[in-house]
Amino acid sequence: MTMDILARQEVRPAAFDVEAIRADFPILSQQVNGRRLAFLDTAASAQKPVQVMEAERRLYETYYANVHRGVYALSQRSTDAFEAARRTVQTFLNARSEREIVFVRGATEAINLVAQSWGRTNLTPGDEVLISEMEHHANIVPWQILRDQLGFTLKVAKVTDAGELDMASFDALLTEKTKLVAITHVSNALGTINPVKTLVAKAHAAGARVLLDGCQAVPHLPVDVQALGADFYVFSGHKLYGPTGIGVLYAREEILTDMPPYQGGGEMIRSVTFEKTTFADIPLRFEAGTPHIAGAIGLAAAIDYVNGVGREAMRDHDQDLLAYAHQRLEEIPGLTIHGTAPEKVGVVAFVMEGTHPHDIGTILDEQGVAVRAGHHCAQPLMDRFGYAATARASFGLYTVKEDIDQLAEALMEVRRIFG
């Protein structure tokens, strides 16, 4: 391996310097509609630092080739970098083995993989899968599809008015019939941090497996899958300052080994005849076809970046911004924050009296402020609270209080327009 080609990009030291961080995200320096850009939609997809872009550019310029197949130098270098990325993810999640890390297109594909492989093999009529009211559609629809095909029961734990998981509801629905608990680590629509270690322990005591949706957790919290005890953990790279089209399924090795392939094709085989196919060992068994090589390498660069910034420093920064945002927005007449759990990340969803969230989003955009407006792929949660949609501001490691001030001032303009 030539270290000049595969060497990691230099990352920021642990001391949190938000202005130095912002300099690594050139997209933030532009103006939108003649205004300073305040990007507050990181929960939907994070911006990318130059280190991630450079890692992908370097691949394509100097050593790109398909992986696991060529005996020539470029292919070997690409394969080395691709598998190094897998080990980076393993370390990031504190998985026991790199064999427990499967590269997929995103958390959505990861959940569908578990549903169609583990679920189709292990769920039967009379079994139950337990989810919650705060789930993203990606952790609802795959289980509905499989339920309709296999005949098991889908149960839904309730959410409190503050946006916390109702533990009494969860406990009442968790029975010996529960074969899987599939629940979000952090709500994308509320920011609520669920007590997942407790939930995993309860589920295991009842004999159930656990899948955790970690999309909103990994950008904000240190995640240790061994400490959590989860059987499956999924996340998407683009929410972690990495590329789109790459994600991760973590599954405990003994479970993954017993799961049949999800898709068939090249790469995931050991041998093929017209009579029989013998499949590759894990994790390649679940990575049919040419993988997203640049995506995996870019994701590794993103993980290196956030590790260099410092996970605890990022968490402190996020909590400082969250407290400041609640303070500023609660001063605005007619505005109600949606999701007030004491344990949450930098996500603030809100509604304004007499104003549709889409109108809020449009007017904020005129002021250079980018927020998300809609149901956030959580329509059942919106129904539970009686809203068709909310506006949502979400923070990243590059967010500054000036962004929040700009949001608050723009919301006062919304208030002025709509009275």
Active site residues per annotation: 377
Output b/e per residue, 68-104; b: 16+ Cβ within 10 A.
Answer: beeeeeebbbbbbbbebbbebbbebbebeebbbbbbb
Q: How many helices (H) and strands (E) does the chain have?
A: 16, 17
With b meaning 16 or more CB within 10 Å and e meaning fewer, what string describes 362-383?
A: ebbbebbbbbbbbbbbbebbbe
CA angle, 43 as apex, 37 and 47 as ends, to 5°?
50
> Which tokens go with 158?
């309730």
Could you give phi then psi for residue 207, rounded to 5 degrees? Answer: 90, 15
CB–CB of 231/252 below 8 Å? yes
CA gap 295, 174 in Å, rounded: 38
Element (H, E) at 209: strand 209-213
CA distance 304 to 162: 35
**CB-based contacts of 276, cutoff 8 Å, min separation 6:** none
For residue 201, how far is the Cα from the chain centroid? 22
Distance in angstroms (rounded) separating the CA atoms of residues 391 and 69 = 47
Cα separations in angstroms, 105 against 251, 288, 319: 16, 12, 30
